[in-house]
Chains A and B, each alone.
Chain A
Amino acid sequence: MASSSTSVVVSNKEKENKNTKKVTLKSSDGESFEVDESVAMESQTIKHIIEDGCANNEIPLPNVTSGILSRVIEYCKKHKEAAGESEPSVTSYTSNSTTNPLTEWDTEFVKVDQNTLFDLILAANYLDIKGLLDLTCKTVADMMKGKTPQEIRETFHIKNDYTPEEEAEVRKENQWAFE
């Protein structure tokens, strides 16, 4: 009896070492986040740092604030979980809920204010997380639906820098769509 319980303890510890290797990510504002290495590797950038053996105790991410980093980690955790449970979902320009079981979750995830969305795009790009970049870009693209150029400028605070001649040329191209 005693010997079998000893062997149970040993094998549990082995399992711990294999499956729950952790890595610490440090945000630009000094906050540390401990995550499973497999979750962190959803980011190709972090994956390369780890594989190149450059990850000591902490991986500094000077371009990502704690607020954004915690959201990114949430995304990676959720998607890693889902990938483990089913076949890998194919990210495409449209997420079809029959192929992507996380469509609803993703939709809720990007219901954020514009500033956060902007930062998520930059973070997804910097951390090289394809799924998140696709999702955030698609969200911005969807914000343009049904809007004229002027309405898009107002939504995103963009200045119109076309000269009157350039403006006329562009109008020739798109006028039919907004009459």
Chain B
Amino acid sequence: MSIETGLIRTTYGQMAERKWSDLPSDLLSPIANRLGLIELLSFRGVCKDWKSASTTASAEIESLPDHEPWFLVYGSNSECILLSNSGKKYTINIPELNGATCLASNKGWLLMFQEGSMFFFCPFSHAKIDLPRFPHSQVTDHVAAFSSPPISQDCLVAVINRSSETTLELNMLCHGAMVWTNHKGYLPRDAIKIIRGATYHDEEFYFFDNSENLVTFSIDKSWNFFVIIPRPKDKFPGINDLPIGRRMRHFIHMNMKNELGLPENVSISTCGTLVHDRIDKLVLNERIEAAEDSISYQLKGVWIQPRFFQVSPNQSW
């Protein structure tokens, strides 16, 4: 390439070669801001100036509508498998995920739980924001959602689980708060089974099971319960449009076990994320069992937009 450039006679008689190293950093930033994750990592490795020009770049392009999420497999050691949306596989060492469980994934941030401590995490940049200690020391059927990126002033986090046959328990944390607030909702197990997906929309948290039930918790602390039905021809009072679509068996439909090269004796529990595919759609959490009669081992996985967030080391909640 460098040999050819010298020989190209431009139409307008420009003979001198432009030095890309002369490009001012305020023009390098708009270039860095338009890079995907892999290209951004490459960009940062070129030279010192280019690295400093990329401090605000976070591969934002990966969170654009119609960009399908990637999938990250993690388990009991630090070696993780990453599958891009174009089918390319990578192995990454991410020690922070060792022994942790992802409760929510949104626009490149993961909400992680590890033995009572909670933190926001970006696995590609290793950016980490610790949260106040969670009131439970273990997670069982816990599912979570957060309203906006953790660095935003109005980030709200909600973690829901079933605390008894008749009640759901929600623990909520506001940006900057030091304690989780506890809210209980009367919702018997036959009304909503296991919650398989959570998201935030228009001042309300939405919690879906994997059939047709929906529970919402609004920021004014009121619970509501809905059944999702196909849209009827006529409008009835009490019927609202569901603003969020669902992808119920995305891992299975995408043949992910095969794509990842996972053996049959592996069971995997996945955490979904919100995607935009004409409308906002929530990829639900799934539990894929290992083939019968096999000694299986458990893996965890999460759908994630591949972002590269850079936060200062003393960034606190």
- List the interface of chain A (C-beta within 8 A of B): 65-68, 70, 92-94, 113-116, 118-119, 121-122, 125, 133-134, 137-138, 140-141, 144-149, 151-162, 166, 170-171, 173-174, 176-179
Chain B: CB-nearest residue to A133: B30
Report 16 cross-chain contacts, Cβ distance below 8 Å, ordered by A residue.
A67-B14, A93-B34, A93-B60, A94-B61, A114-B5, A115-B10, A115-B18, A122-B27, A134-B30, A149-B43, A152-B46, A158-B20, A160-B46, A174-B42, A177-B41, A179-B91
B34, A138: Cβ atoms closer than 8 Å: yes
Task: Provide the bound-state CA to CA distance between A94 and B13, in Å.
Answer: 32
Chain B: CB-nearest residue to A114: B5
Distance in Å from the Cβ of B277 to the closest Cβ of chain A?
14
The digit string for B2-20, where 1 denotes a CB below 8 A from any CB of A, is: 1001001011111011111
A119, B14: Cβ atoms closer than 8 Å: yes
B91, A170: Cβ atoms closer than 8 Å: no
B44, A174: Cβ atoms closer than 8 Å: yes
Chain A: CB-nearest residue to B51: A170
Please give, as numbers and ranges, the residues of chain A lying within 8 Å of B45 by CB-CB distance: 148-149, 170-171, 173-174
B14, A115: Cβ atoms closer than 8 Å: yes
Chain A: CB-nearest residue to B22: A118
Please give, as numbers and ranges, the residues of chain A lying within 8 Å of B23 by CB-CB distance: 118, 121-122
Q: Tell me whether A137 and B64 are in contact in the complex, defined as CB-CB below 8 angstroms, given that A114-B18, A174-B44, A177-B41 are known contacts.
A: no
A162, B41: Cβ atoms closer than 8 Å: no
Distance in Å from the Cβ of A103 to the closest Cβ of chain B?
15
B8, A113: Cβ atoms closer than 8 Å: yes
Task: Provide the bound-state CA to CA distance between A156 and B28, in Å.
Answer: 13
Distance in Å from the Cβ of B173 to the closest Cβ of chain A?
30
The digit string for B267-293, where 1 denotes a CB below 8 A from any CB of A, is: 000000000000000000000000000
Q: Which secondary structure characterizes the binding site on chain A?
A: helix
A159, B5: Cβ atoms closer than 8 Å: no
A113, B10: Cβ atoms closer than 8 Å: yes
Please give, as numbers and ranges, the residues of chain A lying within 8 Å of B43 by CB-CB distance: 144, 149, 152
Interface residue B129 (Cβ < 8 Å from any Cβ of A)? no
Please give, as numbers and ranges, the residues of chain A lying within 8 Å of B37 by CB-CB distance: 177
Q: With contacts defined as CB atoms under 8 Å apart, how many contacts are there between chain A and chain B in the complex? A: 129
B92, A176: Cβ atoms closer than 8 Å: yes
Chain B: CB-nearest residue to A115: B18
B64, A94: Cβ atoms closer than 8 Å: yes
Please give, as numbers and ranges, the residues of chain B lying within 8 Å of A125 by CB-CB distance: 26-27
Interface residue B167 (Cβ < 8 Å from any Cβ of A)? no
Extra contacts, 19 of them, besides A134-B30, A137-B27, A152-B42 (Cβ < 8 A), are A70-B12, A93-B64, A114-B18, A118-B20, A118-B23, A122-B27, A133-B30, A137-B33, A141-B34, A145-B39, A149-B42, A149-B43, A157-B2, A157-B21, A161-B47, A170-B44, A170-B45, A176-B90, A178-B42
Task: Provide the bound-state CA to CA distance between A121 and B39, in Å.
Answer: 20
Chain B: CB-nearest residue to A160: B47
B50, A174: Cβ atoms closer than 8 Å: no
Interface of chain B residues 46 through 87 with chain A (CB within 8 A): 46-51, 60-61, 64, 82
B19, A92: Cβ atoms closer than 8 Å: no
B18, A118: Cβ atoms closer than 8 Å: yes
Please give, as numbers and ranges, the residues of chain B lying within 8 Å of A67 by CB-CB distance: 10-14
A173, B41: Cβ atoms closer than 8 Å: yes
- Checking B16, B17, B21, B91 against A158 with a beta-carbon cut-off of 8 angstroms, the contacting residue is B21
Which are the 10 A-B pairs with shortest beta-carbon distances?
A67-B12, A149-B45, A118-B18, A174-B41, A156-B20, A141-B34, A176-B92, A137-B30, A115-B18, A144-B39
B10, A116: Cβ atoms closer than 8 Å: yes
